[in-house]
Amino acid sequence: MAKARRRIDHGYRELPHGLGLDHFQGRTLAQRYHHGTAARAFPALMRFDPKARMPGP
């Protein structure tokens, strides 16, 4: 049981480093507003452009 606990603890310590979660870069309010506007505008522009194709899987 103790061995499993050590493995789990080790995984929790290494997970953020392995996935890059320890390098969080937050956004300011202005940056969030800009990102949200661009993210909402892109599908709208693609919908009205008959030659454009939405990226798919």
Residue 44 lies in a domain: yes
Tell me the per-residue pLDDT of 45-57, one tens digit each, with 9 for 90 and over.
888 876 766 566 5
Residue 10 lies in a domain: yes
Residue 50 is predicted with a pLDDT of 67
Considering 25-29, 31-35, 52-56, the range whose residues carry the highest mean pLDDT is 31-35
If one counts the domains in the chain, the total is 1
Which residue did the predictor score with more confidence, 41 or 50?
A: 41
Q: What is the pLDDT averaged over residues 11-32?
A: 74
How many angstroms separate the CA atoms of 49 and 52, rounded? Answer: 5
Residue 39 lies in a domain: yes
Range of the domain at 7: 2-48
Exposed e or buried b for every residue in 7-41, given b needs 16+ CB within 10 A? eeeeeeeeeeeeeeeeeeeeeeeeeeeeeeeeeee
Residue 56 lies in a domain: no
Q: What's the pTM value of the predicted model, to 2 decimals? A: 0.39
Residue 21 is predicted with a pLDDT of 64
Residue 6 lies in a domain: yes
Residue 3 is predicted with a pLDDT of 82
Residue 17 lies in a domain: yes
Residue 54 lies in a domain: no
